[in-house]
């Protein structure tokens, strides 16, 4: 047998497999306006739902008068908690083990909370009817400060559980307390702090922000009363989990529920949980027998769907006079809003916050997190990070900077002498994680050399002197960050959500003519799954990526999986894809041996074919093997070429990176110009360098937004002050700087292809990098406790407080 492309390198190139900068196949339809989003879906007889929302952050609902709304032509129904109660649907379980009102049951706990659900023939009629529903409220005292919420005389927020001494995660010590979660050795850490040469302390606040995806949340529920089957289309990052939750809530058998996630216009964690809009749409469809669509507007999305962050982190870090870190102590007060609806694994009520030792060899550490109810919207999603990892990275990278100031030591050198060494991997952290692999020193040295770090420090010192002489009004700041992320949730042994193990899956079918379809339990929201998963398979099974279709998001066809969030697609679903591909290859080897009339052990895989060992001119291509699997009776081998893999990873993966940001701060206006941003990432095996670069650009831009102005802010009455895009900062091309990307490669030893994941890393590393740069600009003039976000006003005030306005 001969082939027109005999050279292995040419055949490998034609596969477009691992390491290839392949253009995203999804973009062909997206750039032509052919995407298929929830609001594009139109079903016959479809009705529309809209919410009456509370203008108050804390109030009793005295009465709800539906009469005027129901009298409006086109209005079908107005649902309240009173209507849902007989069905047991006025409350629903949250992913965190709490329960949440679907519609206000007796009181409201945050501004924008859902009070009533209007169903109408037209979305505009529904909106008009919302204004006609008259709700009588009795205002109650409001608490938006988590520290004040724990005071003895604080108002009781959750009256339904006020007397409960135990919560889902252990004892409750106050009527507004949710849980206390601890990791590490408290006594040993306090002993280290007491005897340390140097102890640096700081209160670090990571403000409340919001993923604000381009497409807001929404769904279309359609109950077929003839078949008894419910079809739910929605903006779901975890379709199978939503199906299971929908079954638990509604009582409909799970096999009679089909959940479909079409194209999703960004998720970033915002679309993991279950919202009242989903439940109300399902109920309305069951009651009316017609499809019901609910789509939130932008204000509703910002005010009421899941927030991110809102962590107050009190830190203490101990070190020797030479800068060797000996201990780390952290107490976090976590503001969860009115309900604990965080999307975290069950055993980790504060997510993976115990990665807060970062990239450093810290022998002793202790972490405690107190969850607290306040009169804010619930949530706590992994906004482009893996379960509170960005809070952890921000905490340790700020603490390193504070320690460097205390020691009067260069922050880059302080990091270097405390890094986990390459020969220490696999590394067991003081707070319980086993880091898989890394070479932090190599990455750090490469980054510092790339930006001429020593030259930047000289320039910074010259700038300070020029400022003192009155020759400039701009200071130079150099932001340093070396982060380690933990992704790939996760091993079933320690990661589940509502009892569902966080494995993932892939099913592959090879067609007779040699093309393939792979179905996965994940769902892309812009990560390029259709492109990269095909590349993984191309390298595993020897079929061109162009001949492989990737399908996700339909629970009737895809194998069960826990979805896409927290950078778990490549570490978990990507591994499942590789393992399924290897099952295909194992069967293909038996078929090839039969066709070549040799023993199975006498053939070996070579890019896109199996060749006879020692006689490479004798081979069968994967396309030939595929056809033979369907048209020849092969002894001991069943027909067809299919495989399925459910992958439960043995460990998380630990991507890392070295980021450096150079800023110029105008002390008179507070304006911060990003002069340079360098981002080096190590995500293990690189599947598609082009997509990696795009992910880094997107993640760093979101980090820019968070660090420099993006905030969900409340006044003392619980009113949301940043509920529109006039007030909530989203960077445009004008504000977004150029980025320099770089990499090192340290494969994960336990992942089938060595991949670690990258989608969340630039957000995790970018936020402390931007923040450290702003803080560093003022370092020569005194230490200030300046919290994010570093918008122009806050930066101006910092300069004023330091006496720099002259």
Residues identified as active-site: 237, 384-385, 760
Q: Are 540 and 578 in contact (CB under 8 A)?
A: yes
Which residues of 94-155 form beta strands (DSSP E)?
Answer: 99-101, 107-108, 114-120, 134-139
> Tell me, what DSSP letter sits at residue 419?
B
Per-residue DSSP letters for 700-763?
HHHHHHHHHT----B-TT--BS--STTTS----TTT----EEEE-----SSSTT-B---SSHHH
Helices then strands, each counted (H, E), the chain: 20, 34
Residue 165 φ/ψ region, left for φ over 0, alpha for ψ in the -120 to 50 degree band, beta for the rest: alpha
CA distance 248 to 242: 10
Q: What does the alpha-carbon distance between residue 697 and residue 703 come to, in Å, rounded to a whole number?
A: 10
Tokens 């809070």 belong to residue: 391
Confirm if 114 and 105 have CB atoms less than 8 A apart.
no
Write out the DSSP string of 268-306. Answer: TTTTSS--HHHHHHHHHHHHHSS-EEEE--HHHHHHHS-
- Specify burial of residue 295 (Cβ count, 10 A radius: 0-12, 13-18, 19+): buried
- The encoded tokens of residue 302 equal 């910002």
Edge-to-edge strand order for the sheet containing 474-484?
Answer: 474-484, 656-666, 672-682, 740-743
Residues 720, 726, 730, 731: is their CA dihedral positive or negative? negative
String of DSSP letters for 665-707: EETTT--EEEEEEEEEEE-BS-S-HHHHHHHHHHHHHHHHHHH
Do strands 740-743 and 672-682 pair parallel, antiparallel, or not at all (unpaired)?
A: parallel
The CA distance from 559 to 520, in Å, is 6
Angstrom distances, CA of residue 306 to CA of 61, 214, 630, 762: 23, 15, 49, 21
- The 10 Å CB-count burial string (b at 16+, else e) for 113-129 is bbbbbbbbbebebbebb
> 575-596 and 529-541 are packed helices; what angle lies between their axes, rounded to 10 degrees?
30
């Amino acid at each position: 047998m001969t082939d027109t492309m005999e050279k292995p390198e040419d055949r490998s190139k034609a596969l477009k497999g691992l390491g290839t900068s392949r253009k995203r196949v999804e973009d062909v339809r997206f750039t032509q306006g052919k995407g298929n989003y929830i609001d594009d879906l139109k079903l016959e007889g479809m009705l529309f739902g809209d919410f009456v929302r509370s203008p108050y952050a804390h109030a009793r609902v005295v009465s709800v008068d539906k009469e005027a709304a129901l009298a409006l032509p086109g209005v079908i129904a107005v649902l309240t908690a009173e209507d849902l109660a007989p069905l047991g649907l006025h409350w629903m379980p949250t992913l965190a083990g709490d329960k949440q009102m679907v519609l206000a049951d007796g009181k409201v706990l945050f501004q924008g909370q859902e009070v009533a659900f209007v169903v109408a023939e037209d979305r505009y009629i529904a909106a008009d009817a919302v204004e006609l529903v008259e709700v009588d409220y009795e205002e109650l005292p409001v608490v938006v400060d988590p520290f004040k919420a724990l005071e003895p005389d604080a108002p009781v927020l959750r009256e339904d559980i006020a007397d409960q001494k135990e919560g889902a995660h252990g004892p409750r010590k106050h009527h507004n307390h949710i849980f206390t979660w601890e990791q590490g050795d408290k006594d040993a850490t306090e002993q280290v702090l007491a005897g340390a040469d140097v102890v640096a302390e700081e209160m670090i606040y990571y403000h409340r922000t919001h993923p604000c995806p381009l497409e807001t949340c929404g769904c279309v529920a359609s109950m077929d009363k003839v078949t008894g089957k419910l079809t739910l289309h929605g903006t779901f990052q975890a379709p199978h989990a939503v199906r299971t939750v929908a079954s638990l809530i509604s009582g409909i058998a799970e096999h009679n529920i089909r959940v479909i996630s079409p194209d999703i216009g960004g998720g970033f964690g915002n679309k993991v949980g279950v919202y009242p809009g989903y439940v109300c749409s399902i109920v309305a469809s069951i009651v009316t027998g017609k499809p019901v669509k609910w789509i939130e507007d932008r204000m509703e999305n910002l005010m009421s769907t899941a927030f991110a962050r809102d962590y107050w982190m009190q830190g203490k870090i101990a070190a020797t006079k030479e800068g060797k870190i000996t201990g780390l102590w952290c107490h976090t007060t976590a503001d969860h809003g009115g309900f604990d609806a965080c999307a975290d694994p069950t055993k980790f009520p504060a997510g993976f916050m115990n990665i807060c030792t970062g990239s450093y060899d810290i022998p002793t550490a202790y972490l405690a997190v107190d969850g607290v109810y306040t009169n804010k919207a619930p949530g706590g999603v992994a906004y482009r990070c893996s379960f509170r990892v960005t809070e952890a990275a921000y905490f340790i990278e700020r603490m390193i900077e504070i320690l460097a100031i205390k020691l009067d030591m260069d922050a880059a050198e302080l990091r270097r002498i405390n890094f986990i060494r390459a020969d220490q991997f696999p590394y067991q952290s003081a707070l319980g994680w086993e880091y898989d692999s890394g070479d932090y020193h190599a990455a750090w040295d490469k980054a510092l050399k790339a930006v001429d770090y020593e030259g930047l420090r000289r320039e910074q010192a010259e700038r300070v002197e020029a400022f003192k002489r009155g020759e400039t009004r701009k200071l130079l700041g150099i932001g340093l960050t070396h982060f380690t992320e933990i992704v790939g949730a996760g091993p079933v042994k320690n990661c589940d959500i509502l009892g569902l193990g966080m494995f993932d899956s892939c099913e592959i079918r090879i067609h007779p003519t040699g093309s393939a379809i792979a179905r996965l339990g994940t769902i892309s929201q812009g990560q390029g799954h259709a492109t990269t998963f095909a590349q993984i398979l191309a390298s595993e099974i020897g079929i061109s990526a162009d001949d492989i279709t990737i399908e996700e998001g339909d629970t009737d066809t895809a194998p069960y999986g826990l979805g896409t969030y927290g950078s778990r697609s490549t570490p978990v679903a990507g591994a499942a894809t590789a393992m399924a591909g290897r099952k295909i290859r194992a069967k293909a080897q038996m078929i090839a041996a039969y066709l070549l009339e040799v023993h199975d052990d006498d053939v070996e895989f070579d890019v896109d074919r199996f060749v006879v060992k020692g006689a490479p001119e004798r081979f069968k291509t994967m396309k030939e093997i595929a056809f033979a699997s369907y048209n020849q009776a092969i002894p001991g081998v069943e027909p067809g070429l299919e495989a399925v893999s459910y992958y439960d990873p043995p460990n998380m993966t630990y991507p890392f990176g070295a980021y450096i940001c150079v800023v110029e701060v105008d002390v008179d206006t507070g304006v911060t110009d990003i002069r340079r941003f360098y981002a080096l990432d190590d995500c293990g095996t690189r599947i598609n360098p082009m997509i990696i670069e795009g992910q880094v650009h997107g993640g760093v831009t979101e980090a820019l937004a968070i660090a420099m102005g993006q905030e969900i802010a409340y006044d003392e009455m619980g009113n949301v002050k940043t509920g529109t895009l006039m007030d909530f900062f989203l960077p445009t091309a004008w504000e977004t700087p150029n980025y320099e990307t770089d990499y090192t490669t340290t494969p994960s030893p336990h992942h089938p292809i060595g991949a670690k994941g990258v989608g969340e890393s630039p957000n995790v590393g970018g936020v402390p990098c931007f923040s450290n740069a702003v803080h560093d600009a003022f370092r020569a003039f005194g230490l200030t406790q300046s919290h994010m976000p570093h918008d122009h006003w806050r930066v101006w005030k910092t300069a004023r407080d330091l006496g720099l306005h002259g």
